[in-house]
Amino acid sequence: MSDYSGRLRYLGHTSTWSFSYQVLQMASQSTGINTSPASFTQSHVDGQLYNIIPELQLRLDTVEISNLPALELALYYAQTTKFRTYPLYHLFEGTDFSQNLHCFHQDPSEYALTHGLWYVHYLVIMALGKSLLGKQAGMRPAGSELFSRALNLLPDAAYLSRDPVRATELFCSVALYLHCVDHRVAAHSYIGQAVRMAQSHGLHTDMPPALVGDRLAQHGRLLWWTAYTLDRRLSSLMGTPNTIHNEDISAPLPRIPDSDLHSAALSIHVKLAKILGSISITVYGPKEKLKDTFLSTIRRTLKCIGELGDELASFSSRSIGEISRVAAHLNLQYNQIANILLQLKKFNLLDDFLPFDLETAYSAAFVLIMSSEIEAKHPLHEASLAALLDVFDAMVAGGNLVASSRKAEVEELAYSLRKQFCQNTNDDTTSARALPSDEGPDARLGGQFSLPSTSGSLFEGWSPENLYTGSRIEGLADSLTMEELNDLWV
């Protein structure tokens, strides 16, 4: 509906506000009274009766303006942010942002004063672009000063609700930046605000283009699924419950104009996010609820993963060139494997600032180190661990302090397990004598943490056909039928 000022507002089905408005409108129409609903909505528009929210007063001095990027550089930062996040994440509407950017550079102080919310969003996008392009300066990312300025100016929720679409863009951008710099709790909080702001404007619903316009309908869908996928990913990372229920969402996946490949990528990305959410409430749900249904739950989840695997392989095979950054991102999220990361490093496509490659390397390293204790001399485990260390080193060389910390944790795990292995072999002298000389405890991990080089042939190329196919995963799901496996639940 539109209020008396012409602003579109979303009123949900269970809202007494919505119910009373519709009843009054029907009553007016049935009695033949030709009155505008504005007389009703004017006294019931959220936040209009008591004007207690202060205006956002932004007055830029000469020093602040001089520290902003020039127009050409600002456009470059914006395009860099889009290139590194699109089509999986939609942080701003390109045409609108570019128009505002040109207007801003004509009179920065005046434009910031009259377009305060856009200016704050602009600072965050500039911070992302600058950080994605430049190495960290000491203990701070390259764009951190712009981001700090944006946080200091960030209005409260009451002010932001005046423009919920831009506020959702802003919250998503802030959440992603905070995630990049390892402020996961704050990032999770901000993406939660993005979801709430988007829902307040009905972005989670199928907004009819005839009522809201084609541009808002398309932009709203892209923005909604950005908030959704970031929320699912951050919630999974934090181990917190889902805040969005899939059955409450009616917003369709958008079709990206002139790019079926981008549309397919976004569709797979959303499906991966849905699987993450499903895992958190099924596989890792309350034990008392899962004890009797654990295996069936695992089977269903694996089948969903398997079905998506075939779709992902088909998508990856459509990518032309050495390696697609979008296809690699989706495959990393699906497979969590090392050879894709090594190929990204080979072609200088590793993300030194965005956290997703680092998350994959970190989780894969932990799994490989633990599995190496089971099958200690498997050459692929050894080479994969070496590859992951190279990936960590490349990120550290790019100035990523988080990568340095994660690498130290990986080395600590390897050292602890090696030490435990040595203690176990010393306690069992008979077994120790039976070991071949090249399979002693130090053969796998020399020194504190030493692994073979990745110069062999194990990682010569990457193709989707080499991945763990969906049919194999579905076969694994079907094999989980033994009655004895029920005893695994403790």
For the chain, domain boundaries: 1-51, 62-252, 331-461
Instruction: Pinpoint the alpha helices (H) of 259-400.
Output: 260-281, 287-290, 294-317, 325-335, 338-346, 356-372, 379-397
Binned at pLDDT 50, 70 and 90, residue 2 comes out as: low
Q: Kindly state the tokens that stand for 341.
A: 């990361």
What are the distances in angstroms from CA 198 to CA 209, 221, 307, 389? 17, 10, 30, 40
Q: Kindly state the tokens that stand for 301.
A: 């989840």
Query: Which amino acid makes up residue 294?
Result: F
- 1, 9 Cβ separation under 8 angstroms: yes
Mean pLDDT of 454-465: 42
pLDDT score of 464: 44
Peptide bond into 254 cis (omega under 30): no
Beta-carbon contacts of residue 479 (< 8 Å; ≥ 6 apart): none
DSSP letter, residue 353? S
Q: What are the tens digits of pLDDT across the range 51-92?
A: 676 777 676 777 688 889 999 999 999 999 999 999 999 999
b or e along 261-282 (b: 16 or more beta carbons within 10 Å of the residue's beta carbon)?
bbbbbbbbbbbbbbbbbbbbeb
Q: Kindly state the tokens that stand for 351.
A: 């993300």
Q: Kindly state the tokens that stand for 336.
A: 């969590």
- Cα 112–Cα 114–Cα 117 angle in degrees, nearest 5: 65
The answer on pLDDT for 103 being more than 70 is yes
pLDDT, greater one: 196 or 371: 196
Any idea which of 259-268, 351-360, 426-435 has the lowest mean pLDDT? 426-435
Q: Is 140 helix (H, G, I), strand (E, B) or coil?
A: strand
- How many CA atoms lie within 13 Å of 208's alpha carbon, on the beta-carbon side? 3
Looking at the chain, the whole-number percentage of residues with pLDDT higher than 90 is 39
The answer on pLDDT for 470 being more than 50 is yes
Phi/psi at 134 (5° precision)? -110, 155
- 223, 170 Cβ separation under 8 angstroms: no
Of 199, 161, 180, nearest to 237 (Cα)? 180
- 324, 312 Cβ separation under 8 angstroms: no
Binned at pLDDT 50, 70 and 90, residue 176 comes out as: very high
Cα–Cα distance, 414 to 409 (Å, whole number): 9
Of 143, 162, 163, nearest to 352 (Cα)? 143
pTM for the full predicted model: 0.81
pLDDT score of 378: 63
pLDDT, greater one: 360 or 187: 187
Beta-carbon contacts of residue 154 (< 8 Å; ≥ 6 apart): 120, 170, 174
Count other Cβ atoms within 10 Å, centred on residue 332. Answer: 20
pLDDT score of 273: 94
Q: What are the tens digits of pLDDT across the range 264-309?
A: 999 999 999 999 888 887 777 666 555 666 677 777 777 888 888 8
Binned at pLDDT 50, 70 and 90, residue 8 comes out as: confident
